[in-house]
Amino acid sequence: MKEMEIAVLPGDGIGPEVMDEAIKVLDVIQKKYKVKFNYKKALVGGSAYDEFGTHLPESTLQICKESDAILFGSVGGPVKEQNTKKWNGVEVNSLLGLRKEFNLYANLRPSKLYPALADSCSLRKDISEKGFDLLVVRELTGGIYFGQPKGRKYEGDDEIAFDTMVYSRKEIKRIAKVAFEVARKRRKKVTSIDKANVLTTMILWRQVVEEVAKEYPDVEYEPMYVDNAAMQLTKNPQQFDVILAGNMFGDIISDESAAIAGSLGMLPSASLAKGKFGMYEPSGGSAYDIAGLGIANPIAQILSGAMMLKYSFDMEEAGKEIEIAVEKLLNDGFRTKDIWQKGNIEINTKEVGDKIVEYLR
């Protein structure tokens, strides 16, 4: 029997409760597809800080290294405690640490407006009723997030702070290839976001992406300035299939894409290394305000599990089955509080997991 090692990092806030539902769903899949998932739980974020005094302990990294994939929940604490030792820098330390350690350079963030959720969409009705289904491919281990030098200098009114935006031809090429490859499996269009009218890094970005595009004559390629893209997303999101972007622009554009889809609780993501290794996490945060109440939407976590099946375990069909079950749940009118609308049936976190398990059987 095929066995897979999964590092399970529930993290903080709603992380543990939505993770339980994802595992419930994966357990059905392992029986149905006759594979074995070996889960290894580890602490990350604030919960790790309590135990080890660090957000990303060595023991957690070790478990991840011994695994085929990481299933990640969320990290972060209550807004009021942002500046305490436990929570300060928790997201950067945990996430950027894992991304760098495992070379997770390709971040895939799908954003889809489910027809059943059209009423939760923040866009005008004549725009939302057309629906949309796009995928942001964000470069995740380079750009201004990691460029050197970075720092602060001088004092008083003379003080300055600086970051460096840098991209190599190699880095741009490999992320562009990811975008064109996935576009081939979708609607065959790549819109590459840049700021080539101002930034030198982005001139190289556009040049290299254009070269890669030539290797994919079957895929439509279009460059777009980031400011225009931000606007186009609200006016005509249907035009996008795959959106390719660097680290910072991808961060911003992917949040915007998620926001127009209605609820952050619906969207999964994958951060991939070369080969099959990847980290899978919901796009929403730790939602500390509703943690422990059992009302959080576990769909993003469950769909992150589905992405793991697809990208790390070559279990495309099993992943698809989970996606269909989620769609069925929505079509049948079942909703957690965050996406509930008049006429729907409100259910809690556990019930979502139970229902999906039921649909899968």
Among the listed residues 200, 282, 203, the one whose alpha carbon sits nearest the alpha carbon of residue 192:
203
- As measured in angstroms, the least distance from the Cβ of 282 to Mn ion is 12
Q: Which of 17, 21, 194, 251 binds Mn ion (CB under 5 A)?
A: 251
Cα 356 to Cα 20: distance, rounded to the nearest angstrom:
13
Pairing mode, strands 69-74 and 278-282? parallel
- As measured in angstroms, the least distance from the Cβ of 312 to ligand IPM is 19
Q: Where do we find the tokens 């069925």?
A: 328
Q: Given the complex with Mn ion, which of 241 and 251 has the nearer CB atom?
A: 251
Cα 296 to Cα 312: distance, rounded to the nearest angstrom:
26
List the single partner that 91 binds among ligand IPM, Mn ion, none, CB under 5 to 8 Å by kind.
Answer: ligand IPM
Q: Number of helices (H) and strands (E), helices first, in the chain?
A: 13, 14
CA dist 41 to 30, 277, 294, Å?
Answer: 18, 17, 20
Q: Provide the 3-class DSSP secondary structure of residue 210.
A: helix
The region of 26-34, 44-52, 99-107, 249-257 touching Mn ion under the rule CB under 5 A is 249-257
Residues catalogued as catalytic: 145, 195, 227, 251, 255
Q: Given the complex with ligand IPM, which of 21 and 281 has the nearer CB atom?
A: 281
List the single partner that 324 binds among ligand IPM, Mn ion, none, CB under 5 to 8 Å by kind.
Answer: none
Binding site for ligand IPM (CB under 6 A): 91-92, 95-96, 251
- As measured in angstroms, the least distance from the Cβ of 214 to ligand IPM is 30
- As measured in angstroms, the least distance from the Cβ of 246 to ligand IPM is 12
Residue number, nearest CB to ligand IPM: 91
- As measured in angstroms, the least distance from the Cβ of 137 to Mn ion is 15
The region of 78-86, 200-208, 245-253, 292-300 touching Mn ion under the rule CB under 5 A is 245-253
Q: Where do we find the tokens 């090429």?
A: 173
Exposed/middle/buried for 274, CB within 10 Å: 0-12, 13-18, 19+?
Answer: exposed
List the single partner that 5 binds among ligand IPM, Mn ion, none, CB under 5 to 8 Å by kind.
Answer: none
Residues in the interface with Mn ion (CB under 5 A) total 1
**Residues 6+ away with beta carbon under 8 Å from 211:** 173
Phi, psi (degrees; rounded to nearest 5) at 94: -75, -55
Q: How many CB atoms lie within 10 A of CB 227?
A: 12
List the single partner that 139 binds among Mn ion, ligand IPM, none, CB under 5 to 8 Å by kind.
Answer: none
Q: Given the complex with ligand IPM, which of 91 and 327 has the nearer CB atom?
A: 91
- As measured in angstroms, the least distance from the Cβ of 285 to Mn ion is 9
Q: Given the complex with ligand IPM, which of 24 and 109 has the nearer CB atom?
A: 109
Cα 67 to Cα 277: distance, rounded to the nearest angstrom:
8
Q: Given the complex with ligand IPM, which of 45 and 353 has the nearer CB atom?
A: 45
Cα 250 to Cα 305: distance, rounded to the nearest angstrom:
22
Q: Given the complex with ligand IPM, which of 128 and 304 has the nearer CB atom?
A: 304
- As measured in angstroms, the least distance from the Cβ of 253 to ligand IPM is 10
Burial state string for 178-193 with b = 16 or more CB within 10 A and e = fewer than 16: bbbebbeeeeebbbbb
List the single partner that 95 binds among ligand IPM, Mn ion, none, CB under 5 to 8 Å by kind.
Answer: ligand IPM
Cα 87 to Cα 46: distance, rounded to the nearest angstrom:
6
What Rg, from alpha-carbon coordinates, does the chain have?
Answer: 20
Q: Given the complex with Mn ion, which of 92 and 293 has the nearer CB atom?
A: 92
Residue number, nearest CB to Mn ion: 251
Binding site for Mn ion (CB under 5 A): 251
